[in-house]
Chains A and B, each alone.
Chain A
């Protein structure tokens, strides 16, 4: 079987290579290279300016590599600028939110697409309504609620809204992935004596791993750079996340841009790594996200 398949594939290759040389292709390639440079330049610029002094940043050497590689910018950002603390806070808030979204999204999707109960369609529409709520409209009601229950200036003040705002999209993505799992699998497991939970835990959940990475990345991108909620709900230094922390730095160090660049570089690194190593899943989550527009 596999031998004959391989043969067919090899027969296909020359056809693909017969691709004719076209000038339009060259133009497209050149355009793409230019676009890549435009996109990558800010990253390059950020990393170089994180290693420069103010004189170099504002002086003649704006674009070039640093003349003096000031690695102490990074130690200053960590020690004086509390970047370590902010980074940890961001990590806690983001990771816990991702876990919440994954659990809730996959379980809700299972319940709404695989189990038969009255109102499951309406429940689904209810969750999808979440896609239409603008984050800004929620700030004031969220603030009053959080302050009433005494959750302002805790991790929960961010984890709960972050999870809630990513959940709708998480469910939307999960529905797509779960739809690809044949219903026969549930029935086969049911015949063998699996209950609702057994089917979920032994069959559905393991097969939802691709959705886990896509939903996880989507949630990560939503939470890691979030500024609005983080500024409003957190004022204590101990709970500030990276975006808020970095914003604070520019007040303290107006004359020292190097450490701010270093802080930005550190904050951007996880996102960059995600983009480099998980670009396929990112595309998937963007395509799913395109529905949201």
Chain B
């Protein structure tokens, strides 16, 4: 696939950018995006993730040039681009609605950008054919776009953005119009194509599993600011706040107090007992804290670290789903491959345990 790489991908740098909008109801100005600073490496796949209204689209549209930042500067491949109109920037965009021209067929939709750029006719034909091959739509050139399925329309939209060989490819929730199964299939496809071309991609979604599946880096946003950024694994196992931990996957929180610092970690005292947890930061004894525990990192047994009472026990096929009460707090557990393990029933007493490495202290 190395021959598909046609051009050097470009990096993107957002240098403390902000966008101020007027709230249409109150008429007051507010920061839709506030002081966002990040560096996107050339050729990487970066996802802006967060709940609806957190400023993902606004950030993406500032990179594309449809909105201009009120503060800060955007760099593309090292060049400041704030003053450039969208068509002068080396970016292409895949829209949520696909934005296919209904009066053009597949070929003309994909060829459109090249025609406007005055690329010679036979080169247009070659490039469009190559890209349609890449998105597996060869032979569909003459179809009108309304004769295509949702997944195929999505591929045309992708091909149209790719054919102009942009330095950075932008996606705004491109899969939200597809059904669940197709969504999973297309996201793998998008990742495959991005890696085949070695192109830089900035991707917006509110779906955390989508973000985990395709990203090199996740930028998790909340109310216009970056809550945390890092690789999917960092964000999953080392969330820096309850918001991040809760947004990415299922999560349990155990509230307690730091009782003493131990070697490579801390001893936390919970109402139900004391446990050791690994942390990088030194914590002050007496400080309130939270232990973040993923459901699959907890085991349940006849003995263990903390006593609990089983409130729900439910066989899910690949795992046994438990809800247990530890002290006052509800803890969810997914116990994988339950076939040869003891199954606890609702109302039984048990113990939970976890590896201190898999627990994270907030």
- Interface residues of chain A, those whose CB is within 8 Å of chain B, are 1-2, 182, 184-185, 187-194, 198, 203, 206-207
Contact = CB atoms under 8 A, between A and B. Distances in A.
Interface in B66-101: 66, 86-87, 91-93, 95-99, 101
A192 B103 contact: no
B102 A207 contact: yes
B116 A193 contact: yes
B25 interface: no
A191 B150 contact: no
B99 A182 contact: yes
A1 B149 contact: yes
Contacts of B116: 192-194, 198
Most buried by A among B99, B151, B164: B99
Interface of B: 64, 66, 86-87, 91-93, 95-99, 101-103, 112-113, 116-117, 149-151, 160, 164
Most chain A beta-carbon neighbours within 10 Å: one of B97, B116, B150 = B116
Given A184-B96, A191-B64, A194-B116, A203 B101 contact: yes
Contacts of A203: 101
A189 B87 CA distance: 9
Contacts of B64: 191
A187 B91 CA distance: 13
A191 B87 contact: yes
Contact of A187 (B66, B101, B103, B149): B66
A185 B113 contact: no
A188 B145 CA distance: 15
A206 B150 CA distance: 23
B95 A190 contact: no
B133 to A, nearest CB: 21
A2 B103 CA distance: 20
Contacts of B101: 185, 188-189, 203
A190 B103 contact: no
Given A191-B87, A192-B87, A207 B149 contact: no
Given A193-B87, A206-B103, A184 B97 contact: yes
Contact of A182 (B97, B113, B149): B97
29 contacts: A1-B151, A182-B97, A182-B99, A184-B96, A184-B98, A184-B99, A185-B101, A187-B66, A187-B86, A187-B95, A187-B99, A188-B95, A188-B99, A188-B160, A189-B101, A190-B86, A190-B87, A191-B86, A191-B87, A191-B91, A191-B92, A192-B112, A192-B113, A192-B116, A192-B117, A192-B164, A193-B87, A193-B117, A207-B103
Point out which of B64, B66, B95 has the most chain A C-beta atoms below 10 A from its C-beta.
B95
A189 to B, nearest CB: 8
Given A182-B99, A193-B87, A194-B116, A188 B93 contact: yes
Give the residue among A185, A189, A191 with the most B Cβ atoms within 10 A.
A191
